[in-house]
């Protein structure tokens, strides 16, 4: 959770961004699911943002925050963040 403007942020309050890291869903998702089962979460930070591509157009993406992982699952998803909409049956996470 971001602290600014009440106080300065540090590495513990900001999300680590990892560019060009991809994985693939192994189970389709509904627009209300709070977990995403994928091939691997290796390389992803323990909390952060993921984007789900919902079509061939990069503009058709859903932004999601998560606050936990297992080897193959993103946990406690907050769907449709940053002005995006939650989608069902999503093919790829990046």
| pLDDT tens, residue by residue, 43-81 | 999 999 898 876 666 667 888 999 999 999 999 999 998
57 burial via Cβ count (<10 Å: 0-12, 13-18, 19+): exposed
Domain enclosing residue 58, as ranges: 23-93
Decide if 41 is inside a domain. yes
| pLDDT tens, residue by residue, 18-45 | 667 888 889 888 989 999 999 999 999 9
Decide if 8 is inside a domain. no
Decide if 11 is inside a domain. no
Decide if 72 is inside a domain. yes
Q: How many domains does the chain have?
A: 1
Q: Give yes or no for a contact between 93 and 50, defined as CB atoms under 8 angstroms apart.
A: yes
Decide if 2 is inside a domain. no
pLDDT at 85: 87
Q: Give yes or no for a contact between 18 and 45, defined as CB atoms under 8 angstroms apart.
A: yes
Cis peptide before 5 (omega within 30 of 0): yes
pLDDT at 21: 85
Q: Report the alpha-carbon distance of residue 84 to residue 94 in Å, rounded.
A: 15
Decide if 7 is inside a domain. no
């Amino acid at each position: 959770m971001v602290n600014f403007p009440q106080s300065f942020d540090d590495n513990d309050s900001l999300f680590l961004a990892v560019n060009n890291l991809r994985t693939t869903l192994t189970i389709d998702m509904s627009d209300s699911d709070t977990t995403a089962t994928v091939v691997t979460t290796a390389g992803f930070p323990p909390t952060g943002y993921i984007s789900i591509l919902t079509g061939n157009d990069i503009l058709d993406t859903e932004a999601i925050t998560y606050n936990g992982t297992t080897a193959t699952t993103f946990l406690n998803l907050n769907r449709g963040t940053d002005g995006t909409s939650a989608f069902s049956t999503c093919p790829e996470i990046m």
